[in-house]
Chain A
Amino acid sequence: METQIVRNEDLVWRRIEDEIVVIGNDGLAVHMLNKSAAYIWEQCDGTKSPDEIAVGLCEHFEVTPEEARADVQATIDKLEGMGLMHKTEGNPVQ
């Protein structure tokens, strides 16, 4: 079993150029995600582990694997703390 991260399904979000805007259930709470956070957000569809997302981050941004892992973890922790995503246990989709 591997921990995967999934966005909360009932949240509304849109990509606006290189940023993503996530809007709370009340339609008023707005969260803006910058370029790299937006990438991580899009990857959190419940099929990837944090490590797999970090590998993808290295491929798309000029960061070392260590920096990518730290970035992914920090972003996930923050978004999870804001109630925008949650961890789930399961096998990655093949």
Chain B
Amino acid sequence: MSTGSAGSHTRLHDMLRKCVALNIPVQATLELTYRCNLNCGHCYIDCKESDELTLDEWRQVLDQLKAAGLLYILFTGGEIMVRRDFLDIATYARRRGLFISLLTNCTLVTPEMALAIAALRPVSIGTSLYGASASTHESITRVPGSFNKTVEGIKLLVQAGLVPRVQTVVMKSLAGELPKIKELAKEIGAISSAQFGLAPSRSGSNYPSQYELSEDEVLESGLGLDFFGVCVEEGPGVCRAGKTQCSVSPSGDVFPCNLFPLKLGNIRESSFETIWRLEPCAELRYLRSMRRSDLHACQVCEVKAYCHRCTAVAFIETGRMDGPSPTACRWAQMRWRLTQDAEVTQCQKKPTLNRKSLQKS
């Protein structure tokens, strides 16, 4: 009789693999609202949708998702705490035996709310710092005073016994401040991580890329290849969106993931079971059927080993799920160049890759 002897990480991986085969949505991103009290210039949410599911409707969504196999929820927005009933929704989810994670800018955290959140035992709380000083952070959030509010909010969560993760997207204005941000996070009791790359907006606009570091700035940043992502030997693959992952928008639209603007249906018009399992639309069926070998252009790309292609971003950029993503191509070339620079620095073999062919791919 086996109760599983492998490590927890392996078992989680095994479970997810099985759920992929069965299209069980164990992970859901619930966008409670698109309203936000900050005005971040790079934010990918550029829709003006103000229609929002009520508390009762969210409870029904949670019931339906749980019945479909949901285990893990990420509550995000907008800013989740601008909804006065955010805690009611999160508490209901927890009582239904679901694990919750939160993404919040922390500016609206009160001592009482911090304690209430801690009582829910969230798996993780993510927040963002766009600088180690008010001037840098607020040049992105475009709201005076937001830096201090975020820092104070993080401290309240820490006092309540939680360990928030400060996530920083590396942008032009703050690349040099990463060590200071890390230091600040540690000082206030949080952990920190930084990531590279900005996705286009939900509607396909490329305005977020104006904040992205250029290739030369990446090289000058001194952040190194490790920071920008490891190589993927087999090249880009397919993700779990539409299989184990789904997303529900503030008004009840169901998507394969929160970055993927392929509307599968609306929870007010059809049950989740109908949208996800009984009558999946043709696009969802295709997404689920996609294999690595279906990414024909990517398979022959010379920098595929440096590519972290996102199907959702490819779809936003080109309208195709199986085509190349210009953003991913750009980043893959950047990683390739970093590798070459590292090799030159180490007096290793001179690169032989043809840059013109890269640009064509």
Contact = CB atoms under 8 A, between A and B. Distances in A.
Interface of A: 12, 14, 16-17, 19, 21, 23-34, 36-37, 40, 71, 74-75, 78-79, 82
A29 B8 CA distance: 5
Contacts of A30: 8, 11-12, 15
B11 A14 contact: no
B165 to A, nearest CB: 14
Given A17-B22, A27-B99, A27-B123, A34 B69 contact: no
A12 B2 contact: no
Nearest to A63: B1
15 contacts: A12-B98, A14-B69, A19-B18, A24-B8, A26-B123, A27-B72, A28-B12, A31-B4, A32-B4, A32-B11, A36-B1, A37-B2, A37-B3, A74-B1, A75-B3
A14 B72 CA distance: 12
A29 B7 CA distance: 9
Instruction: Name A's interface SS.
Output: mixed
B121 A25 contact: yes
Contacts of B98: 12
B191 interface: no
B99 A82 contact: no
B179 interface: no
Nearest to A12: B97
B24 interface: yes
A30 to B, nearest CB: 4
Interface in B1-59: 1-4, 8, 11-12, 14-15, 18-19, 22, 24
Q: How large is the interface on B (under 10, 10 to 19, 20 to 34, 35 or more residues)?
A: 20 to 34
Contacts, number: 62
A1 B69 CA distance: 37
B71 interface: yes
B8 A34 contact: no
B8 A16 contact: no
Interface in B68-103: 69, 71-72, 97-99
Contacts of B8: 24, 28-30
Contacts of B24: 16
Given A16-B19, A19-B18, A32-B3, 16 more contacts: A12-B97, A14-B69, A16-B18, A16-B24, A23-B99, A25-B121, A26-B123, A27-B71, A27-B99, A30-B8, A30-B11, A30-B15, A31-B4, A32-B4, A33-B3, A37-B1
A27 B8 CA distance: 11
Given A27-B123, A82-B3, A16 B97 contact: no
Nearest to A70: B1
B111 to A, nearest CB: 24
Contacts of A25: 121
A16 B15 contact: yes
